[in-house]
C-alpha cells in the first residue's frame, strides 16, 4: 500500500511516499520498520501505544487502533504534529 510519510521522518525513508504491506496498521508499521529500521519507534512507544504527536489516516479517515484492518489498495497517511515557539 502507499504510505505518505511526514517530512520529519524523511531521514528514514528518503522521501514522502513509500510502499509497505500488512493486513493491519500494526503489520504495516512493522513492515515499514523492516524496510526503514527505527522508524516505528518514532511513531509507537514502548507500551505499544501511538505517540501523542502522531496521527494515522487511512483513505482520509483517522484511525486510532493498531489492529485496524487494512487492504492493499488503502492509502495510509502519517501526520506528525510539530510545535515550537
Question: Domain with 6 in it: what CATH number?
Answer: 3.10.20.30
Q: Report the pLDDT averaged over residues 16-29.
A: 97
Q: Report the pLDDT averaged over residues 2-20.
A: 96
Domain assignment of residue 28, yes or no = yes
pLDDT of 75 reads: 97
Q: How far is CA 57 from CA 54, 64, 65, 84, in A?
A: 10, 9, 11, 24
Domain assignment of residue 7, yes or no = yes
Instruction: Note the pLDDT tens digit of each residue in 65-78.
Output: 999 999 999 999 99
Domain that residue 67 falls in: 2-80
Domain assignment of residue 85, yes or no = no
pLDDT of 81 reads: 85
Domain assignment of residue 66, yes or no = yes
pLDDT of 84 reads: 61
Tally of structural domains, the chain: 1
Q: What cell numbers appear for 75 in the block? A: 492509502
Q: What share of the chain is helix, strand, coil (3-state, %, to 5)?
A: 25, 30, 45
Amino acid at each position: 500500500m502507499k504510505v505518505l510519510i511526514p517530512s520529519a521522518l524523511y531521514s528514514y525513508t528518503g522521501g514522502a511516499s513509500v510502499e509497505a504491506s500488512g493486513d493491519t496498521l500494526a503489520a504495516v508499521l512493522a513492515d515499514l520498520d523492516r524496510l526503514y529500521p527505527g522508524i516505528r519507534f518514532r511513531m509507537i512507544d514502548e507500551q505499544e501505544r501511538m505517540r501523542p504527536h502522531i496521527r494515522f489516516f487511512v483513505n482520509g479517515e483517522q484511525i486510532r487502533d493498531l489492529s485496524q484492518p487494512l487492504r492493499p489498495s488503502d492509502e495510509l497517511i502519517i501526520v506528525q504534529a510539530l510545535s515550537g515557539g
